[in-house]
A and B are shown apart, each in its own frame.
Chain A
């Protein structure tokens, strides 16, 4: 059962990461456009996404069971990324937050999202850091011993 949940969470966290990246990319570029800032400066906002994506890729390519099968890590990742998507959704569609109406043309509540960015970035960096430590300290899946019955 745990294995099935882990596989499910493994897939979901990659999908959530991509969705949250697209949402953040959309919001941050529009925010920079509004403030007339140089887009190059926005790279620092996306760095935690890239770093997390990189460690996810390493986990998958090298089949690191100590990370991929860590239920707590997978649940935490999904929770953080869910939160990111939810915040993005609110910034783009929640018109009951009146700044959304006030900010007009862009149809994004930049103030709300700007408040969110800092803690979210910290959480993504911490997840990357945890992933690294898990790579070296986590328990690897026990190799299956196939016993052959010798007649």
Chain B
């Protein structure tokens, strides 16, 4: 009986050790796999990317629009000092768009998940908070101003602002979730979504679409400036 119990416990014990061994083995290797998986980079020359070129050319266009306004030459119907303020707001915006993270990324030839995260953070902190909220959000409350041509689009603009402020929220959650992982990581990365590649395009698309409003206001400023100079 004693021998039987001893053998019985021995079997149970080796079963427990087997389970622990298997689980630890699985855990260790899935961790190693995940360690490697999140280091996957997207190889591309960033400055040659279509979206980057597009954003850069639009920034140049906006800069030219801003430079077309000269407060000393303006003699239009609107208050010149207020237009000058708009011009200053747009100039500040350009600085925020040309932030150091974006400029550093343009020098790179491969994009890691950290680059995407930093670019998204720069988009939120510099572009959305610095440019859109601090310098341009007043456009969505245009009823209080005398800028009539902007006023007609105020409601649409306010929707647009709300939209671009929430564009990359999902991406942020997605990126921060890369601590968790599952069996589907390999298939997910290859077939559905590669976080480094797709994340980069998502943020650059957000950069590009947020430029619509800056470009729209800069075009309006340019038109006003030209009309003001003609009136003179």
Contacts and interface: CB of A to CB of B under 8 A. Distances in A.
Contacts of A95: 114
Given A96-B112, A130-B17, A101 B179 contact: no
Contacts of B9: 133, 136-137
B94 interface: no
A82 interface: yes
Given A83-B28, A119-B27, A96 B113 contact: yes
Given A99-B179, A130-B16, A79 B21 contact: yes
Nearest to B27: A83
A90 B14 contact: no
A70 to B, nearest CB: 9
Interface in B62-110: none
Cβ-closest 3 pairs across A and B: A133-B13, A137-B10, A83-B28
A116 B149 CA distance: 59
A19 B33 CA distance: 23
Given A79-B21, A80-B20, A137-B6, A97 B13 contact: no
A12 interface: no
B97 to A, nearest CB: 23
Question: Which of B23, B24, B176, B178 has the most chain A CB within a 10 Å cutoff?
Answer: B24
Residues of B contacting A: mostly: helix
Interface string A74-112: 011001101100110010001111110110000001011
A82 B20 contact: no
Contact of B17 (A76, A83, A102, A137): A76
A111 B175 CA distance: 14
Given A80-B24, A97-B38, A123-B24, 15 more contacts: A76-B24, A79-B25, A82-B28, A83-B27, A86-B32, A94-B35, A95-B114, A96-B39, A98-B113, A98-B175, A98-B179, A102-B176, A109-B179, A126-B19, A136-B6
Interface residues on A, range: 20 to 34
A86 B175 CA distance: 22
Interface of A: 72-73, 75-76, 79-80, 82-83, 86-87, 90, 94-99, 101-102, 109, 111-112, 115, 119, 123, 126-127, 129-130, 133-134, 136-138
A76 B20 contact: yes
Contacts of A101: 114, 117
B12 interface: yes
B209 interface: no
Nearest to A79: B24
Contacts of A111: 179
B116 to A, nearest CB: 9
A46 B12 CA distance: 26
Interface string B25-61: 1011001100100110000000000000000000000
